[in-house]
């Protein structure tokens, strides 16, 4: 999670919402990304989606069996869908997102009967630091 938090800081420095994501396989980082929606003019360039894309290329396959995604903020419904489609074994996230989350809030994608893959989910890892980054980022813009 430490690397994901560093990536979130980099995103904030570039004016992006501070979210960072890392995909690991065992102890090895195989992909990492940060939010890049503004810079890339791509509304789907959430840190999770970009990291999943990089991990698939690195492994040369679309299914990320044996991999875990570490992200600083609870994934939205779009990202939760991508996590399920990628068949990630685990999801670890920092701060919950009551407004836009899709895992423990909102759509609760993994709880839907149409979701064919449910990763092992654990939230609250680095939660205080993740939440502080978001508060500071949005506080500076109000």
Query: What residues act catalytically?
Result: 48
With vertex at residue 42, the alpha carbon angle to CA 21 and CA 66, rounded to the nearest 5 degrees, is 30
Token duo for residue 40: 């890339």
Q: Was 115 annotated as part of a binding site?
A: no
Write phi, then psi, for 50 (nearest 5 degrees): -65, -40
**Residue 46 among known ligand-binding residues:** yes
Give me the phi and psi of 65, to 5 degrees please.
Answer: -55, 140
67 is in an annotated binding site: no
Q: Which residues contact 130 (CB under 8 A, 6 or more apart)?
A: 5, 8, 72, 73, 94, 95
Which region, left, alpha or beta, applies to residue 27 given φ > 0 means left and ψ of -120 to 50 means alpha?
A: alpha
Helices and strands (H and E) in the chain: how many: 5, 5
Q: Where is the binding site for Zn(2+), in residues?
A: 46, 76, 79
Q: Where is the binding site, in residues?
A: 46, 76, 79
């Amino acid at each position: 999670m430490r690397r994901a938090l560093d990536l979130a800081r980099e995103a904030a420095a570039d004016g992006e919402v501070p979210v960072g994501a890392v995909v690991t396989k065992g102890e090895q980082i195989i992909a990492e990304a940060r939010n890049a929606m503004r810079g890339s003019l791509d509304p789907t360039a959430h840190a999770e989606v970009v990291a999943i894309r990089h991990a698939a290329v690195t492994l040369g396959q679309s299914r990320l069996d044996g991999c875990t995604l570490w992200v600083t903020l609870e994934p939205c419904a779009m990202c939760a869908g991508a996590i399920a489609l990628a068949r990630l074994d685990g999801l670890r996230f920092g701060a919950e997102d009551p407004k836009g989350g899709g895992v423990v809030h909102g759509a609760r994608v993994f709880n839907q009967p149409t979701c064919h893959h449910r990763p092992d989910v654990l939230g609250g890892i680095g939660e205080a630091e993740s939440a502080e980054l978001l508060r500071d980022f949005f506080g500076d813009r109000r």
